[in-house]
């Protein structure tokens, strides 16, 4: 049976071009970047070239990029690092109710350490209120962290306006852009972003590699102690092959961004139209406008989400009910409940996220399979 993959928000395959660029750093170019001899210098040079490629994707300086092990580490390092370095100025942080667990749990951890956190509500489409953001700012607010685009319903926040508000009050602005990088245009300088997190395996690089941007001049505490790697901000021998892969993936994403976005958006809109017309009672979660180009999230009343996924899997279809990072929980999605969905509809959700290899024929097969499975489950 052919496997049709529709869960690119959970992870992506490693592109052949990315893997080809990585392979030498597992074998003949295996030197430690901290070593002074030639194969060590070779690894160090490869890291710096990759740093430039990542910075080019988001419009910052290469020395503002720090490599990590994943998006979660990037979020932890940016948020905790900023909080610890600026606690004498204040201990108040603002975020939203629909953040990824890497941000929510980091903020909850800081609350146990004496920080105060305001969790902004969102409307039924997943947008924060700029007015509520303004009203939540206090004299001791040191950080605003709002995700660029939501991993479950694809809502893209008004990032430039959020950054403007933060700048007006001299507050640092961080954004979790794990789902956005490589899917939509980002320029941190033009948008006024002070710090940003990204992850390799969301944009066709391998798992186990991430990065974050921190604007020059913003103080932050290091998260891992040890050696002096990453300008003494992230200790540990670098994952050279992973870093090279991330750099290559970012380079490809930058070059192909316009055509990639167009491809994803065409598939998404076609899928939404087919589901809306053919499956009675289907409910699109989130907004049509300001949505990630490859994201569609539906609820199907009277259908159990887990049973839906298992039956689709039997037909060779890979999709999800929400974030892969919370799939072990029996609770309804915190994102769907935050936008006002009752528990039964939150439990009946399906997230479909498209990638470069998906075709219109794949979408037709997915829609037909959905029709058959939903009819079966309702009976």
pLDDT of the chain, 379 residues: tens digit per residue: 899 999 999 999 999 999 999 999 999 999 999 998 999 999 999 999 999 999 999 999 999 999 999 999 999 999 999 999 999 999 999 999 999 999 999 999 999 999 999 999 999 999 999 999 999 999 999 999 999 999 999 999 999 999 999 999 999 999 999 999 999 999 999 999 999 999 999 999 999 999 999 999 999 999 889 999 998 889 899 999 999 999 999 999 999 999 999 999 999 999 999 999 999 999 999 998 999 999 999 999 999 999 999 999 999 999 998 655 554 556 889 999 999 999 999 999 999 999 999 999 999 999 999 999 999 998 8
Is CATH 3.30.365.10 what the domain over 4-12+257-378 is classified as, yes or no? no
Known active-site residue 60: no
| Structure-token pair, residue 78 | 């940016």
Domain 16-252 fold is 3.40.640
Predicted TM-score of the model (pTM):
0.95
CA distance 26 to 135: 52
Among 246, 195, 242, smallest CA distance to 64 is for 195
Structure token digits, residue 376: 């079966």
- From the number of C-beta atoms within 10 Å of its C-beta (0-12, 13-18, 19+), residue 161 rates as middle
Token code pair at residue 301: 């009343």
Q: Which sign does the torsion angle of CA 62, 68, 70, 74 carry?
A: negative
* Catalytic site residue from 60, 181, 250, 325: 325
Could you tell me if 248 and 205 are in contact, meaning their C-beta atoms sit under 8 angstroms apart? yes
Measure Cα distances from 207 to 12, 21, 72, 153, 257 in Å: 9, 15, 12, 23, 21
CATH 3.90.1150.10 domain range(s) in the chain: 4-12+257-378
- CATH 3.40.640.10 in the chain is located at 16-252
Helices (H), 152-304: 159-168, 188-191, 229-232, 240-278
């Amino acid at each position: 049976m052919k496997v049709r993959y529709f869960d690119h928000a959970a992870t992506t395959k490693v592109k052949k071009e990315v893997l080809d660029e990585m392979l030498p750093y597992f074998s003949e170019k295996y030197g430690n970047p901290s070593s002074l001899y030639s194969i060590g210098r070779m690894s160090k040079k490869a890291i710096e070239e990759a740093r430039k490629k990542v910075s080019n994707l988001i419009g910052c300086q290469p020395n503002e990029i720090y490599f990590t092990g994943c998006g979660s580490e990037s979020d932890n390092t940016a948020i905790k690092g900023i909080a610890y370095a600026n606690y004498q100025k204040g201990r108040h942080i603002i975020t939203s109710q629909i953040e990824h667990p890497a941000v929510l749990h980091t903020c909850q951890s800081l609350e146990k350490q004496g920080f105060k956190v305001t969790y902004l509500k969102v409307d039924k489409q997943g947008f924060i209120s700029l007015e509520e953001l303004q009203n939540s700012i206090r004299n001791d607010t040191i950080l605003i962290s709002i995700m660029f685009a939501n991993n479950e319903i694809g809502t893209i926040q008004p990032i430039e306006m959020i950054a403007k508000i933060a700048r007006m009050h001299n507050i640092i602005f961080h954004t979790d852009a794990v789902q956005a990088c490589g899917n939509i245009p980002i320029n941190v300088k033009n948008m006024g972003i002070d710090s940003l997190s990204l992850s390799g395996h969301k944009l066709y690089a391998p798992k186990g590699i991430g990065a974050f941007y921190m604007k020059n001049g913003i103080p932050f505490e290091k998260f891992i102690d040890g050696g002096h790697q990453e300008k003494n901000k992230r200790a540990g021998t670098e994952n050279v092959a992973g870093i090279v892969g991330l750099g290559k993936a970012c380079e490809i994403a930058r070059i192909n961004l316009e055509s990639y976005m167009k491809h994803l958006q065409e598939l998404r809109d076609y899928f939404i139209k087919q589901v809306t017309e053919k499956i009675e009672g289907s409910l699109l979660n989130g907004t049509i406008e300001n949505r990630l180009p490859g994201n569609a999230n539906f609820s199907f009343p009277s259908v159990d989400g887990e049973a839906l996924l298992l039956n689709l899997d039997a037909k060779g279809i890979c999709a999800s009910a929400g974030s892969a990072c919370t799939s072990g929980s029996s609770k309804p999605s915190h994102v769907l409940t935050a936008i006002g969905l009752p528990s039964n509809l939150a439990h009946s959700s399906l997230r479909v996220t498209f990638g470069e290899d998906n075709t219109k024929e794949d979408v037709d097969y997915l829609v037909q399979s959905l029709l058959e499975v939903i009819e079966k489950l309702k009976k």
